[in-house]
């Protein structure tokens, strides 16, 4: 059964720092991996979708990489800003019909 | 711009009341999902639907039912709300297949007193 783990559960950094969020999964036979952002009391916003044939995807200051063989993905955030403060979740397909298996997220706090 | 819309952002209901949570997507997606999210437990799948009038149980279907009469609309029903159903409910949709991107609504925060 696929399991997704995100460590650390919480992270606090000063503004301007570059940072990496980690995501690991137990079954490497995945079609893709998706990163989401969630602000308090809100739904999840899709940030990046990496297909299994890709090694990385970039959107602005965000870069996500995928290493299927090692069961890992990282989300790199460059020059962090207070507005980046949120919970970041990763998810991979599991259970069929487009359902995703989610990690529990990393809560990021960027201090001014 | 793609959109998943949940009809109610905040609801307060009493124990035993019937609750309807509605979700509409404008992306012509085949698959739709209802999750609940609780602190420390993460997202848990309640039900999903891969076609009109089709539904499948997720991990925690007890106490819930769903309805999908039109492709764009997926409703979650709590027949008799209980306090342990106080939670954030999230609707999502995705195109059929295994390579698509999942999109979420803004969430519905339900409090059952």
Q: Closest to B105 (Cβ–Cβ): which among A32, A43, A103? A: A43
Q: Give the pLDDT band (50/70/90) at residue B1.
A: low
* Subunit contact B42:A104, Cβ cutoff 8 A: yes
For A67-86, what is the mean pLDDT?
96
A99 vs B106: CB contact, 8 Å cut-off?
Answer: no
pLDDT of residue A95: 67
User: Is residue B16's pLDDT more than 70?
Assistant: yes
The closest of B17, B15, B36, B33 to B25, measured between CA atoms, is B33
Which stretches does DSSP call E strand in chain B? 4-6, 10-13, 19-25, 31-38, 42-49, 56-57, 65-70, 73-78, 87-94, 103-104, 108-112
Burial of B27 (0-12, 13-18, 19+ CB in 10 A): middle
What gap in Å lies between CA B78 and CA B91, rounded to an integer?
Answer: 15
Task: Indicate the burial class of B39 (C-beta count within 10 angstroms; 0-12, 13-18, 19 or more).
Answer: exposed
Token pair 């997220």 in the structure block, residue: A105
Quick: pLDDT tens for B25-79. 999 999 999 999 999 899 999 999 999 999 999 999 999 999 999 999 999 999 9
Q: What is the pLDDT of residue B95?
A: 86
Contact B20, B8 (CB under 8 A): no
Which two tokens mark A13?
């950094």
Which candidate from B42, B56, B101 shows the least CB-CB separation from A46? B101
Average pLDDT over residues A52-64: 94
Say yes or no for a CB contact (<8 Å) between B98 and A93.
yes
Amino acid B99: pLDDT: 78
């Amino acid at each position: 059964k696929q399991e997704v783990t995100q460590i650390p559960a919480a992270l606090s950094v000063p503004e301007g720092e570059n940072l990496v969020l980690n995501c690991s999964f137990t079954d490497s036979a995945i079609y893709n991996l998706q990163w989401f952002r969630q602000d308090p009391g809100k739904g999840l916003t899709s940030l990046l979708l990496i297909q299994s044939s890709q090694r990385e995807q970039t959107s602005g200051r965000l870069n996500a990489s995928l290493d299927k063989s090692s069961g890992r993905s990282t989300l790199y955030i460059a020059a962090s800003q207070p507005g980046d403060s949120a919970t970041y979740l990763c998810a991979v397909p599991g259970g069929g019909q487009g359902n995703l298996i989610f990690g529990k997220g990393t809560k990021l706090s960027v201090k001014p | 711009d793609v959109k998943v819309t949940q009809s109610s952002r905040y609801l307060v209901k009493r124990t035993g009341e019937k609750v309807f949570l509605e979700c509409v997507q404008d992306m012509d997606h085949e698959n739709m999902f209802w999750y609940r999210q609780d602190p420390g437990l993460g997202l848990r799948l309640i039900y999903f639907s891969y076609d009109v009038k089709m539904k499948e149980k997720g991990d925690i279907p007890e106490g819930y039912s769903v309805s999908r009469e039109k492709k764009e609309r997926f409703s979650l029903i709590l027949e008799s709300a209980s306090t342990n159903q106080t939670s954030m409910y999230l609707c999502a949709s995705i195109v059929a297949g295994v390579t698509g991107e999942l999109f979420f609504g803004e969430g519905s925060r339900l409090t059952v007193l």
